[in-house]
Amino acid sequence: MAATKEGKLVYNIYRALSFGAAPVLNLYLRFRRFRGREHPHRWTERLGRPSLPRPLGPLLWFHAVSLGEGMAAIPIIKQCIKQRPDLNILMTTTTASAFEVINKRLPSGVIYQFAPLDTLTAVRAFVDYWKPNAIILIESELWPNLIMTASANGIVLALLNARMSAKSFKHFSGPVLLPLISLMLSKFSLIVPLSNMQAIQFQLLQAPPCVINFSGDLKCVVEDFDVSEGELRSIEDLKLELAHRQVWMASSIHRGEEEIMLGVHRELTKIHPDMVTILVPRVPRHGLEITQELRKKGQNVALRSRHEKLVAGTNIYVVDTLGELRLLYGLTPIAVVGGSFLPGLAGHNILEAAAAGCAVLTGRHIGHFSQMVLEMQQLNSLSVLQVFGKLELVNALKELFSDAKVLEARRMAAKQAYHSLSSGIVSSVWNLLNSHVFKRVALLEGK
């Protein structure tokens, strides 16, 4: 009881601070729109102002912060539609980059909005308009005003792929925030952590043990999606340009990692002068910067957003577009997944590359993706190769390019491990949602 009172006290302080900060946040939102960081026409949705009508009937709200988390939600959204076609589905994210991609990948009929800022005014406006029966949060979206407002309105809450970094756990465990975090976690009907370690952390933060269940990582599920004729034609054209040339791809690279990858490229082209290196920056606008710098040095580079061709003498291809990574993995036998070669980075999803049948390599700085890598390696030790720095990466790629049997073994291992790891996850998550969420919602009982 004392802990609950403390939590409510801390929440009241947060609520007051967020109320006072609302005008500043609104100005900041306008500034981000001016800088092109918010959607030019739909940015007011972040203030809780809807742009679409609410349909009649029960509504399930899925929320993810950005692209990776949003894509992870799509398989379970499809399963919900399949099992419960009477449900309306609302999907929200916070970033413009996620909007550009996810809006094209969602099943027809799913409503897509930007999530409200966690100010009381924006959250209340959003909840009052959409009136969700349940809210499904993905990964680490623990926003006090959203959770407390939902609870006060009798909305059932679930947290899928639940995780937090070691830094966040330490922060949340402190004497100031622990009462608030404990209070928020007590409002959930279902928490599905990514691993045993994450489950322990949530219990140490006083999440009720009865709501913690396991199902697997939704990011392990890589589903096919509809591809437009234009997208398909563009990929087929690139496939023809890559024909008869050795190729590898460095995907999701962060600022600073391009220097490592270009260093690797220089070493490899000494042996394979016609080799093509595909660079896919995590932030697309970074691709133009890389291209400009390389051209200043006299390097022939093709930039995807400008539809430039891979002609003879051009052996670096920079992808500065969104939403094509899964398709591009199908064009290369080798994928080096970035966001993992510099201290402070935390890795990216390796399973999209594995599902495409690539030999998968990654660095050592992989954060919470270490669980995914470990599970893949336990299924097959050849499925993922972790390397430390440029020299190890160069040597690993030299072996793959010089020994076709090793390359094929790693490609097969990655694909087989992916299929083993992803099997049954969606149905398991659905069963948990059905028993812990839908049956707790009065409007959905008996369906």
Same domain, 311 and 416: yes
Residue 37 shares a structural domain with residue 123:
yes
| Residue 273 forms part of a structural domain | yes
Separation between Cα atoms, residue 168 and residue 25, nearest integer Å: 23
Burial 33-62, CB ≥16 within 10 A → b, else e = beeeebbeebbbbbbbbeeeeeeeebbbbb
As a whole number, mean pLDDT of residues 135-158 equals 96
**Domain membership flag for residue 434:** no
**What is the number of domains present in the chain?**
2
- pTM value? 0.90
Looking up residue 94, the CATH number of its domain turns out to be: 3.40.50.11720
One domain, residues 393 and 253: yes
With beta carbons less than 8 A apart as the criterion, state whether 411 and 333 touch. Answer: yes
The backbone torsions φ and ψ at residue 400, rounded to the nearest 5 degrees and listed phi first, read -65, -40
Q: What's the chain's average pLDDT? A: 94
H/E stretch holding 94 reads: none
Q: Are residues 171 and 94 in the same domain?
A: yes
Contact present, 355 and 220 (Cβ < 8 Å): no
- The domain in which residue 197 lies consists of 2-214
Cα(262)–Cα(264) distance, integer angstroms: 5
CATH of the domain at 242: 3.40.50.2000
Assess whether 256 and 404 both reside in one domain: yes
User: What is the distance between the alpha carbons of residues 134 and 112, in angstroms, rounded to a whole number?
Assistant: 16
Residue with tokens 């790693």: 410
User: Are 279 and 331 contained in the same domain?
Assistant: yes
Residue 69 annotated in active site? yes
Among the candidates 214, 246, 274, a domain finishes at 214
Of 185, 214, 243, which closes a domain?
214
- Shared domain for 308 and 252, answered yes or no, is yes
Of the three residues 214, 239, 265, the one that is the final residue of a domain is: 214
pLDDT tens, 211-261? 999 998 999 998 777 778 888 999 999 999 999 999 999 999 999 999 999
Q: Which residues of 171-183 are buried (b: 16+ CB within 10 A; e: fewer)?
A: ebeeeebbbbbbb
Run of H or E residues at 285: helix 284-296
Please indicate, yes or no, whether residues 114 and 242 belong to a single structural domain of this protein.
Answer: no
* φ, ψ at 39 (rounded to 5°): -65, 130
pLDDT digits (tens, 9 = 90+) for 271-296: 999 999 999 999 999 999 999 999 99
Residue 435 lies in a domain: no
pLDDT tens-digit profile of 73-125? 999 999 999 999 999 999 999 998 899 899 989 999 999 999 999 999 999 99
Q: Please report whether residue 172 resides in a domain.
A: yes
Shared-domain flag, residues 251 and 359: yes
Residue 445 within any structural domain of the chain: no
Which of helix, strand or coil describes residue 353? helix
Residue 167 lies in a domain: yes
CA atoms of 32 and 26, how far apart (whole Å): 10
Q: Are residues 389 and 320 in the same domain?
A: yes
201 shares its domain with 237: no
| Span 131-137, average pLDDT | 97
- 69, 141, 257, 258: the catalytic one is 69
Angle at 248 between CA 243 and CA 252, to 5 degrees: 130
Are 198 and 238 within one domain? no
Residue 442 lies in a domain: no
Candidates 101, 103, 107; CA nearest to 78 is: 107
Is residue 427 in some structural domain?
no
Give the model confidence (pLDDT) of 346-376 as tens digits: 999 999 999 999 999 999 999 989 999 999 9
Could you tell me which of 29, 97, 41 has the C-alpha nearest to residue 64? Answer: 97
